[in-house]
């Protein structure tokens, strides 16, 4: 059922440069705060012990899967919602939002079960150091049992983003991240008369921030987002709506699953050398997020703009958005490359490093940053895959980078007996990824974007 709207959504009429800036900048700011939280979290944990840093690194694949499920479902909802609004189909837009909450409920239950029954086996498989195992179990169990916050928060953010309310998305992310940063030392070190909780305190601060962001997100969507109408009737399972959501969302979930498998595999390879190498890898991921998070902010805005204009049949706006997003992404990652190359010891110095940690980490950072510009191109172009309903292409590129090339290369390089050689697997894998991404982008452009030009003219 279609309904008339009073005016065209800004994603169909606002100049591309201003639109991308208005939509992406709030998300970039909020994601930078998220990245800052990740770094601050690790800084406080590093003051506990190096084993605590390793435990946090080993928790990353699980947290990455949580984010993967949340973002995957939300991206599917985002794509369907934006296309529906572009077609002026209000009813489908409402169903997309409602089914997003239904699917998030299922994902929450899955991770709660893992929190109850799977965490200990997960850590005992990866480490024989008692402090690492017990600290990791405490941290990950709390994050899983109270995972509802991250799922609801991510969906609420994407509902606001898909309807062009990026500033409200920023408010949600900033609120959760700032609360997290403030509470980290309180719970970790036992300030204000509270018991000293160590690494478990970091988890408590994390879930409190996420749940606060989730509550704020629900309020903003109910009271400040007139483009969607949430009600209980839209929460009933609807296969006709769930299908399109999952067709876009599942590839994103699989991509993050691939990332978790990659991290798990790399951690296993690094554990064969020394736990310090695993800690270095975890710290690298926190540091690189300060540059990758802005890319994801641009990417999220790009998906909404492209999906809307694809639904509205405006190909010039699709191409213009992609060109600008790719240029911005490459500029950000070139800056990241220079900083990692010039100041690796300064970056590592924040984490209370031992001499060995600093030695291994300096070499790692200088090698791992080399493919940053290529990664920027891949991430920017992947927005088109998701927005145009071909999320499977993103899965293919991620599979090539993180499993088919990266893990085998890392394993073979580990046979040299020098952990420093393992890091070269990442530049090798990124070369393969960018080649596959360019080929798939050319294909989707020919199939879905190019045919729109004659009709638009």
Distance of CA 79 to the CA centre of its chain: 16
Task: Provide the sign of the torsion angle of the four alpha carbons 334, 339, 344, 347, taken in this order.
Answer: negative
Query: Helices in 10-49 by DSSP H: which ranges?
Result: 16-46
Is the distance from CB of 184 to CB of 41 less than 8 angstroms?
yes
Is the distance from CB of 127 to CB of 54 less than 8 angstroms?
yes
pLDDT tens for each residue of 204-248:
999 999 999 999 999 999 998 888 888 888 999 999 999 999 988
Is the distance from CB of 209 to CB of 216 less than 8 angstroms?
no
pLDDT at 370: 96
Q: How many CA atoms lie within 13 A of 223 on its CB side?
A: 7
Picking from 185, 168, 155, the residue whose alpha carbon sits closest to that of residue 48 is 185
Q: What is the mean pLDDT of residues 417-443?
A: 94
**Winning range, highest mean pLDDT, from 2-11, 296-305, 361-370:** 361-370
Calculate the CA dihedral of residues 238, 243, 244, 250 and round it to 10 degrees: 130
Lowest-pLDDT range of 161-170, 241-250, 315-324, 369-378 = 161-170
Cα separation of 405 and 371, whole Å? 14
Q: Domain boundaries in the chain?
A: 14-456
pLDDT tens for each residue of 9-42:
676 777 888 888 888 887 788 778 778 877 888 8
Cα separation of 325 and 21, whole Å? 10
Structure token pair of residue 67: 């984010």
Secondary-structure percent of the chain, ordered helix, strand, coil, rounded to 5: 85, 0, 15
Structure token pair of residue 98: 């409602």
pLDDT at position 280 over 50 = yes
Q: What is the mean pLDDT of residues 57-79?
A: 90
Lowest-pLDDT range of 181-185, 341-345, 365-369, 453-457 = 453-457
Under the banding of pLDDT at 50, 70 and 90, the label for residue 50 is confident
Could you tell me what percent of the chain has a pLDDT over 90? 51
- Residue 114: enclosing H or E segment and its boundaries? helix 90-117
Cα separation of 330 and 376, whole Å? 5
pLDDT at 9: 65
pLDDT tens for each residue of 249-274:
887 788 778 888 898 999 999 988 88
Angle ∠(170,22,249) on CA atoms, nearest 5: 60
Lowest-pLDDT range of 22-26, 50-54, 418-422, 430-434 = 22-26
pLDDT at 7: 56
pLDDT at position 118 over 60 = yes
Structure token pair of residue 143: 């994050």
What string of DSSP letters covers 346-399?
Answer: HHHHTT---HHHHHHHHHHHHHHTTTHHHHHHHHHHHHHHHHTT-HHHHHHHHH
pLDDT at 5: 42
* Residue positions counted in the chain: 457
Picking from 118, 166, 205, 196, the residue whose alpha carbon sits closest to that of residue 21 is 166
Distance of CA 188 to the CA centre of its chain: 25
Under the banding of pLDDT at 50, 70 and 90, the label for residue 8 is low
Q: What is the mean pLDDT of residues 101-129?
A: 94
Is the distance from CB of 45 to CB of 188 less than 8 angstroms?
yes
Q: What's the whole-number average pLDDT of the chain?
A: 88
pLDDT at 6: 44
Q: What is the mean pLDDT of residues 322-338?
A: 94
pLDDT at 363: 96
Distance of CA 21 to the CA centre of its chain: 20
pLDDT at position 1 over 70 = no
pLDDT at 254: 80
pLDDT tens for each residue of 148-191:
999 999 999 989 887 878 788 888 988 988 899 899 999 999 99
Residue 65 or residue 161, greater confidence: 65
Residue 449 DSSP one-character state: I
Picking from 84, 102, 75, the residue whose alpha carbon sits closest to that of residue 242 is 102
């Amino acid at each position: 059922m279609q309904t008339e709207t009073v005016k065209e959504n800004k994603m169909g009429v606002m100049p591309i440069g201003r639109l991308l800036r208005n939509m992406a900048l709030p998300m970039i700011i909020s994601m930078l705060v998220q990245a800052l939280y990740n770094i601050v979290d690790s800084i406080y944990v590093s003051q506990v012990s190096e084993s605590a840093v390793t435990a946090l690194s080993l928790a990353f694949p699980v947290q990455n899967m949580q984010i993967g499920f949340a973002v995957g479902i939300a991206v599917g909802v985002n794509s369907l919602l934006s296309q529906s609004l572009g077609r002026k189909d209000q009813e489908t837009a409402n169903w997309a939002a409602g089914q997003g909450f239904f699917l998030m409920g299922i994902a929450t239950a899955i991770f709660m079960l893992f929190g109850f029954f799977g965490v200990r086996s997960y850590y005992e498989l990866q480490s024989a150091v008692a402090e690492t195992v017990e600290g990791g179990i405490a941290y990950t169990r709390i994050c899983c049992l109270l995972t509802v916050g991250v799922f609801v928060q991510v969906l609420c953010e994407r509902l606001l983003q898909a309807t062009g309310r990026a500033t409200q998305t920023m408010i949600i992310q900033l609120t959760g991240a700032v609360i997290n940063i403030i509470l980290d030392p309180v719970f970790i070190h036992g300030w204000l008369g509270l018991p000293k909780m160590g690494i478990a305190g970091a988890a408590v601060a994390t879930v409190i921030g996420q749940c606060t962001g989730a509550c704020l997100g629900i309020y903003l969507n109910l009271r400040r987002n007139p483009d969607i109408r949430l009600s209980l009737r839209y929460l009933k399972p609807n296969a006709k709506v769930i299908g399109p959501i999952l067709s876009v969302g599942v590839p994103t979930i699989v991509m993050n699953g691939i990332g978790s498998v990659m991290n798990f595999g790399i951690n296993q390879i690094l554990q064969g050398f020394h736990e310090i190498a695993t800690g270095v890898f975890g710290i690298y991921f926190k540091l690189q997020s300060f540059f990758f998070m802005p890319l994801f902010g641009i990417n999220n805005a790009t998906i909404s703009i492209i999906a809307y204009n694809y639904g509205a049949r405006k190909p010039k706006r699709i191409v213009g958005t992609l060109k600008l997003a790719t240029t911005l992404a490459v500029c950000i990652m070139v800056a990241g490359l220079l900083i990692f190359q010039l100041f690796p010891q300064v970056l590592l110095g924040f984490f209370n490093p031992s001499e060995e940690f600093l030695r291994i980490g300096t070499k790692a950072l200088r090698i791992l940053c080399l493919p940053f510009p290529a990664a920027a191109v891949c991430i920017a172009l992947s927005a088109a895959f998701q927005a145009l309903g071909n999320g499977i292409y993103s899965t293919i590129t991620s599979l090539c980078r993180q499993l088919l090339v990266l893990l085998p290369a890392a394993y073979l390089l580990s046979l040299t007996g020098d952990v420093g050689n393992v890091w070269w697997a990442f530049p090798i894998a990124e070369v393969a990824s960018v080649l596959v991404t360019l080929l798939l982008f050319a294909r989707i452009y020919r199939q879905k974007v190019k045919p729109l030009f004659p009709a638009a003219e």
